[in-house]
Amino acid sequence: MYNIILIIPARSGSKGVPDKNINQLGGFPLILWSIEACKKSKMINQVMVSTDSLEYKKLSEDCGAYAPFLRSAAISKDSSMDIEFLKYQINVNPQAKEIIFNKE
């Protein structure tokens, strides 16, 4: 049995749609929709949010996700690639063994 942790990226510095992750959609913050969809999966053991924002961290935790720390500004830029925060998560989580990366 695998322990699957799904990591939702939620960077606060979006230039196209400022604060898009906490903007309301259908009466709820956008990030809540992602967290709830993940929590419904029978294959995911834990939903984690990777963010550089204290506000996003608190909201994510209030929505039932695990957000243990804030990621650094160095991997939270417009030019940062997803693999950067995923590698960071692996390095700070001693239980993580590998990353399965599927970007469609």
89 in Cβ contact with 68 (< 8 Å):
no
Q: What residue type is 15 in one-letter code?
A: K
Set out the domains of the chain in order of their start, with CATH numbers. Answer: 5-92 (3.90.550.10)
d(Cα 85, Cα 75) in Å, to the nearest integer? 6
pLDDT by 10s per residue, the chain, length 104: 577 888 899 988 878 888 899 999 999 999 999 999 999 998 888 899 999 999 999 999 999 999 988 988 888 888 888 888 888 877 777 666 655 555 44
* pLDDT at residue 62, rounded to an integer: 96
Q: What is the pTM of this model?
A: 0.83
